Structure 1
């Protein structure tokens, strides 16, 4: 049984393992889910993504965790904190990715809010970020619901394409 990192009223966030590859593949290989990444991942991309999360757990003690429904145990997405480059620094970012059929049900906000509290209370970060593709309005709305404010716009080069991103941030003092 996997250790639960975070728990909300409807969700459990747990470290993923290779036993979650089928569920992860169904999410990352869905064009609808991955539109902000310029298209669905293939098997190799998905394996590299999983390996990166497992490496993050070892290196930092956190990363993108699997998002599981409490009532069924089904993995419906990922949410967690990763270190991302911003202005030549590494900053803690709250990221989230959900199976398409689970969109617009409040799961991303529920998980992201729990990650914000974890980032401040357990990991003792003073600021948390969400760096979101400019076309991903739904994720931007989650960041705002998570108490974040737009502070910057940047361009990330990913998969051979320059992609504008919005940078959202919340300070520990903003949530007290």
Structure 2
């Protein structure tokens, strides 16, 4: 569970593990148009089915030390905002560490994804987990692309024909800290 940010905080957010009791709070994400497509999930599933698939994958990641998404809680209101974390992903047959993020629709465009993603990036590099990080974004998901770019990442390549891979090296991260 070394990649999880349990107990970490940003200015507005605290990070904790996903719990089964969070299910109903997370279902609204899957009621949004294109979210299943953006997340590479089966769009034929119902919102509850998509949420269950998400939970199954999340708990599998936790149990198998593959990183995982952390629940983001607003420190002032105690509201469930979304999820963000460090995930081990296999991209073109290579294991890489990803900064992943998903925010509930009612909190979109408020800077939460960037705030949490930046914390994940800093946490990964400060703890020497990797020499580079990625974010994998569906080609039509402009909002998530903007977060990756704002997080200091640059376009690396297209994979699986519909996902852009953005990346940042530890060296580039260090340089950005000096500016």
3-state secondary structure, aligned to 1:125: coil
Match of 1:5 in 2: 7
C-alpha distance in structure 2 between counterparts of 1:51 and 1:17, whole Å = 11
Query: Which residue, 69, 79, 87 being the options, matches 1:74?
Result: 79
C-alpha distance in structure 1 between counterparts of 2:150 and 2:91, whole Å = 22
Q: Which runs of 5+ in 1 are unaligned?
A: 156-162
**TM-score, with normalisation over the residues of structure 2?**
0.84
3-state secondary structure, aligned to 1:6: coil
Match of 1:49 in 2: 54
1:106-145 deviation line (CA, Å, top 9, x unaligned)? 1000000000011112352111100100111111110011
1:45 is displaced (CA, Å) by 2.6
3-state secondary structure, aligned to 2:133: strand
1:58 is displaced (CA, Å) by 2.3
Contact 2:67 2:88 in 1 (8 A): no
3-state secondary structure, aligned to 1:97: strand
Match of 2:177 in 1: none
1:166 is displaced (CA, Å) by 0.8
**Count of equivalent residues:** 167
**TM-score, with normalisation over the residues of structure 1?**
0.86
- CA pair 138-119 structure 1, distance change in 2 beyond 3 A: same
C-alpha distance in structure 1 between counterparts of 2:132 and 2:119, whole Å = 15
3-state secondary structure, aligned to 1:104: coil
Contact 1:79 1:112 in 2 (8 A): yes
3-state secondary structure, aligned to 1:8: coil
Q: Which runs of 5+ in 2 are unaligned?
A: 175-179
C-alpha distance in structure 2 between counterparts of 1:25 and 1:174, whole Å = 37
